[in-house]
Structure 1
Amino acid sequence: MTLSASPTVSSSSRTIRIGSRKSQLALVQTYWVQEHLQKAFPDRTFEVQTMSTHGDKILDVALAKIGDKGLFTKELEIGMLNGDIDFAVHSLKDLPTRLPEGLVLGCVTERENPADALVVHASHRDKQLDTLPEGAVIGTSSLRRLAQLRHHYPHLSFKDVRGNLNTRLAKLDAGEYDALILAVAGLQRLEMADRIHQVIPAEVSLHAVGQGALGIECRADDTEVLELLKALEHLPTTHRCYAERAFLRELEGGCQVPIGVNTTLDGDTLTLIGIVASLDGQRLVKDRITGPAIEAERLGTELAQRLRQQGAQEILDEILATVQRG
């Protein structure tokens, strides 16, 4: 990853405490942040503190049914507000678009490939999504993936899957599923890229808001930490993710709503594609917007308003009612 030039930060004896979830992927991401900050500021001390979040503890209920605002972030946020940790490293797709008062998104790191991946059981190594047999069981806990894949492949069967990446892969290898849909970035970060059977094109499945990037959350008034984090900031990714998060925020959808995005940068010009889909995949509202990257949040908000006018709000209202009845 390409990092920004290190900013000038006054030396301090303060130990910077980095908060992380305990999962293998979370720790790999957090240790990456710790390593690069240590390289940028060799005279400083950075230590990692782990904690379990609500989402880590409930593994037998679909994410959509237990609510997802802060599902993987709340405990870390309480730790920051209480002064137990100084900042937290998140998969940006897990970080709500509205943060608690007193906390800010201090930094967005360079993005890995944000696409979704097909990972197949050994018996289907000669297959891709469009050649899997009718009734093949696909594991995913994402309503976004579910809705889009149902739209394109209504002959496939879909089943919820929870647990960390290793747990999900073990279930696949044991034959509980014919295939899984996972994030390319997560598999790459855990050095499991060899499990990626197919990178799913954006035409089939737009990715989650912020997928592939890390979001570092910290106290709004902690100028020292905010200055340190500039060493990790990747401005092109920041523009892309701010557009995506503004799009999601305006639609008031959490990550467990079928909202997908794709962003590209051509010089200083940003293009954002957004989609809202019904759970059965029968209805898709999709559009795009292009404009200056420095106006990323305005572009995201404007695209969301455009989709709402095209019927997205009715779809979201129906999904909310369905999930609440659950």
Structure 2
Amino acid sequence: MLKKTIRIGTRDSELALWQANTVKSKLENLGYTTQLVPVKSDGDLVLDKPLYEMGITGIFTKTLDVAMITGIVDIAVHSMKDVPTLLPNGIVQTAVLERASSEDILVTPPFAPHKKGIDWEQPCTIATGSLRRQAQWLHRYPNHKVVDLRGNVNTRLQKLKDNNWQGAIFAKAGLQRINLLPENYIDLSWMLPAPAQGAMVIVALENDEFSKEATSKLNHSTSEICTHIEREFLSTLEGGCTAPIGALAEIIGNEILFKGCLFSLDGQSKLEIERKVLVSEYKGFGKECAKFILSNGGSELMSSIKNQMG
């Protein structure tokens, strides 16, 4: 039965390799034979353009999609927040692994004063390549300047050291996974994460029953339900356009607590929702929450974002 070697496609950054190796060892513990196949992505190679100028949809996943469709790899492992809500034809989600922290953190330079020593009321320069983080930061600190920050985790940490910024925003899970979480960081518990932040997803070809069955054994149902709601919220709002959208679903007892937000690019306009639903009624909940936002000013806000981004 366990004859076929499952070839695991991954980007070749340190974090991506950590994620792929995690899946590799989990599959091997179940008795499967696996092989890692690292592939460079356009998102890693072009560091001088903001993501949204590169047609963000699938920038980190496209290369692996092609490798899967052309038969070079059998499955791919991704940070779920990087995966387009609409998967390419013939590729399906087979498992969401147990989610790590979904929080964003502000990393301050090693030489900066301790967090209590930074006066956030003063003009500050904060770095992030994410429209969502930028908008939420500017909403809270309108007198600050936000600069673009690209590259893998290691590159971005180095840029923080090399520049005269007060801080840079990272996903906590990414730094934890490769043991790069520094001492000097501040939890941004007020910032809503990207949909599915902190979760890893496995995708395979729809007609590859062997790989689908093998990887589905790694699925964590709580993480799958929460990320499904967040991504449904994103997909209903976005309509193919990148926008500052945050979402977080958490299962508490037999209920799901959902928080979602949509911001203007400059952070001045904010639309938000907070709702609960029974876990048994989670299907369509993300869509329902997005429709509430759209009918309460969200449609107009999305139109203006699309116009601004050309």
Shift in Å at residue 255 of structure 1? 8.7
Question: In 2, distance between residues paired with 1:263 and 1:220?
Answer: 27
- The residue aligned with 2:223 is 237
- The equivalent position to 2:284 in structure 1, one of 298, 301, 304, is 298
Asked if 1:14 corresponds to 2:12, the answer is: no
Question: In 1, distance between residues paired with 2:280 and 2:67?
Answer: 32
Q: Secondary structure at the match of 1:50?
A: strand
Shift in Å at residue 23 of structure 1? 0.8
Write out aligned runs for 1:130-279 (5 A).
131-132=119-120, 134-195=122-183, 197-201=185-189, 204-252=190-238, 256-279=242-265
Question: In 1, distance between residues paired with 2:203 and 2:126?
Answer: 33
TM-score by length of 2: 0.95
Asked if 1:61 corresponds to 2:49, the answer is: yes
Asked if 1:24 corresponds to 2:10, the answer is: no
Q: Secondary structure at the match of 1:181?
A: strand
Write out aligned runs for 1:89-100 (5 A).
89-100=77-88
Q: Per-residue displacement from partner, 1:158-187 (whole Å, max 9, x unpaired)?
A: 100111111111111123422100000001
- The residue aligned with 1:6 is none
Which moves more between the two structures, 123-132 or 291-300? 123-132
C-alpha contact (below 8 Å) 1:246/1:297 kept by paired residues: no
TM-score by length of 1: 0.91
C-alpha contact (below 8 Å) 1:209/1:248 kept by paired residues: yes
Question: In 2, distance between residues paired with 1:253 and 1:161?
Answer: 25
Question: In 2, distance between residues paired with 1:289 and 1:66?
Answer: 34
Shift in Å at residue 84 of structure 1? 1.4
Question: In 2, distance between residues paired with 1:256 and 1:142?
Answer: 10
Q: Secondary structure at the match of 1:211?
A: coil
Q: Secondary structure at the match of 1:131?
A: coil
- The residue aligned with 2:23 is 33
Shift in Å at residue 132 of structure 1? 3.2
- The residue aligned with 2:266 is 280
**RMSD across aligned C-alpha pairs, in angstroms?**
1.7
Shift in Å at residue 196 of structure 1? 5.3
Q: Partner amino acid for 1:205?
A: M
Which 5+ residue runs of structure 2 have no aligned equivalent? none
Which moves more between the two structures, 128-137 or 315-324? 128-137
Question: In 2, distance between residues paired with 1:15 and 1:214?
Answer: 21
- The residue aligned with 1:103 is 91
Q: Per-residue displacement from partner, 1:112-164 (whole Å, max 9, x unpaired)?
A: 10010110013433226983362221000000000011001112211001111
Question: In 2, distance between residues paired with 1:305 and 1:152?
Answer: 25
- The residue aligned with 2:299 is 313
C-alpha contact (below 8 Å) 1:59/1:162 kept by paired residues: yes
- The residue aligned with 1:322 is 308
Which 5+ residue runs of structure 1 have no aligned equivalent? 1-10
Q: Secondary structure at the match of 1:236?
A: helix
Shift in Å at residue 286 of structure 1? 0.2
Which moves more between the two structures, 60-69 or 129-138? 129-138
Q: Secondary structure at the match of 2:182?
A: helix
Q: How many residues align?
A: 310
Q: Partner amino acid for 1:26?
A: A
- The equivalent position to 1:78 in structure 2, one of 66, 80, 86, is 66
C-alpha contact (below 8 Å) 1:68/1:254 kept by paired residues: no
Q: Secondary structure at the match of 2:248?
A: strand
Question: In 1, distance between residues paired with 2:87 and 2:260?
Answer: 22
